[in-house]
Amino acid sequence: MKKLTSLFLLLFAFILSACNNNASTIEKDHLQFSWDEILIQAKGQTVNFMMWQGDPQINKYINSYVIPSVKAKYGITLQTSAGQGNQIVSILMGEKEALKINSEIDMCWINGETFYQLKQIDALFGPFVDKLPNATLINLDNPFIKYDFQIPINGMECPWGNVQFCLIYNKEKVLVPPKNMLELENYVKQIPGKFTIPNDFTGLTFLKSLLIDIAGGGSTLAGPFDEAKYKNYSAQLWQYINRLKPFMWKSGTTFPNAVSPMHQMFSQGELYFTMSNNDGEVDNKVTEGTLPGFARSYVLDAGTIQNSHYLGITKNSNQKAAAMVILNFLISPDAQLEKQNSSVWGDGTVLDLTKLSAKEQAAFNSLQNRIYGPNRIEIASKALMELAPEYMIRLNDDFRKYVIEQ
């Protein structure tokens, strides 16, 4: 027994010692280098990029276009690994808790909630965006870029793409798509079992758009999280959703755990609606053949969330120079143009077109030829700002509490 107790105490001490988080990391201050020095340092380095790899088109863009380009132009080897949001946060948290100095992740694809979490655990390098020559082509004062979930980015993450939430409908079954919450409620009641909300990031973005609508518009919920406002408007939101619930997919007894199974059910006719955070996704997916030709997308009259996604460099990355060079390439007009093409990815650019040359502007404008999705410039007038991250955290908890478990 004594031996067992000793072993137990030894283990306890071992774990506690392994979890000391007062380590200091030694790093070169890349922010002091000139861009030419960064380019020299970057040559020959290998960068690990953790990104969501759930879309073959996006993977193809990275593997067939970005990786060969950065190798040829800068001599940098870019390696990708699969992981998103909470996985990135888990890995970086684990590394910090284990006092790991050189992170396995050099750069990562993030947005709002992950940015908020990575700031909480102080895992991001920066501010570095000003160091990137191509950052001058971005309007960093554009509120849809300057703030990520109402948090100023302050150069700690680099804008990469900009998209707007859209509802996708079956045009053969839904002849006149509902344009506001009342019409949506009436319509869902007419087509029981054909509408649902995914219990994931996309579903939460939809709920946020509805919450803003209930609150009377974009400015009411702007700024830091407001408990009183949230309680008031979210109560109305849950009442609304619960009125729809009996008419939703499987009578609202459950909800899809992600938007991808919703796309599949939509394609098979089990659902008449699905949704996407990316206004360009329908054109991209129909071209790719993963969504059927009857898919069309639109935004509600009261507007939908417009959301930028970003790239970050980890604080403990050992390849910061190379990561910065890759990020600079990714926001170059060439890389952004390629990315915005619907047959490639269909992701909206973060570049300010007025800052580009006439030739580049013409090239971007020639891509505004969507067949299945709405015109990007037209729906921009209905764009709503992302809310503070606490709104999403609370909506996530309360959607389960007041809707799923009811």
Binding site for other proteins (CB under 8 A): 8, 11-12, 14-16, 19, 21, 85-87, 89-90, 93, 96-97, 113, 117, 120-121, 193, 199, 250, 253-257, 265, 268-270, 389, 392-393, 396-397, 400, 404-405
The terminus-to-terminus CA distance of the chain in angstroms comes to 49
What's the CA gap between 168 and 295, in Å, rounded? 6
What's the burial of 322, exposed, middle or buried (CB within 10 Å: 0-12/13-18/19+)?
A: buried
Nearest-approach distance from CB 92 to other proteins, in angstroms: 10
The label of the residue with tokens 């069309």 reads 296
Kindly state the smallest distance separating residue 186's Cβ from other proteins, in Å.
Answer: 20
CA distance 43 to 38: 9
CB of 392 to other proteins, least distance (A): 6
Q: How far is the CB of 404 from other proteins (least distance, A)?
A: 5
Cβ proximity to other proteins: between 21 and 354 the closer is 21
- In the complex with other proteins, the residue whose CB is nearer, 120 or 365, is 120
Q: Which is nearer to other proteins, 34 or 268 (CB)?
A: 268
Supply the minimum distance, in Å, between the C-beta of residue 42 and other proteins: 30
Q: Given the complex with other proteins, which of 8 and 35 has the nearer CB atom?
A: 8
Which is closer to other proteins, CB of 252 or CB of 373?
252
The least CB distance from residue 263 to other proteins, in Å, is 13
